[in-house]
Amino acid sequence: MKLDEHPSCRPAAPTVFVGKNRRGNWIACEQTGLFGGLFVNRAQAFKYALRKNGHHPEAIIELSQEIELDISASQEGAGTRRVA
């Protein structure tokens, strides 16, 4: 008999933000900048986000405001930046 872990014991799925940048391109980026990408359409951005976060749609947040993908060399500076 195999015992499953209680859901509260499993690590949380990474939160992924999805939205458009000022040029109209779609962005998908993990909250802390661990992974991210630039996409031509919304469907591809969501497909990427689902694959990278272990297929947890509840951990994907679509933003209505503009975001930018930060691809700086510094790990501390990586991630998304919301534009006001």
13-44 tens-digit pLDDT: 999 999 999 999 999 999 998 999 999 999 99
**Per-residue pLDDT band at 5 (split at 50, 70, 90):** low
| Closest among 61, 79, 59, 80 to 10, alpha carbons compared | 59
Q: Is residue 50 part of a domain?
A: yes
How far apart are alpha carbons 57 and 7 in whole angstroms? 16
Between CA 45 and CA 50, with CA 49 as vertex, the angle to 5 degrees is: 120
Domain count across the chain: 1
Q: What pTM was computed for the model? A: 0.73
Contact 68, 81 (CB under 8 A): yes
Q: Which residue segment(s) compose the domain that 18 sits in?
A: 11-82
Q: Is residue 3 part of a domain?
A: no
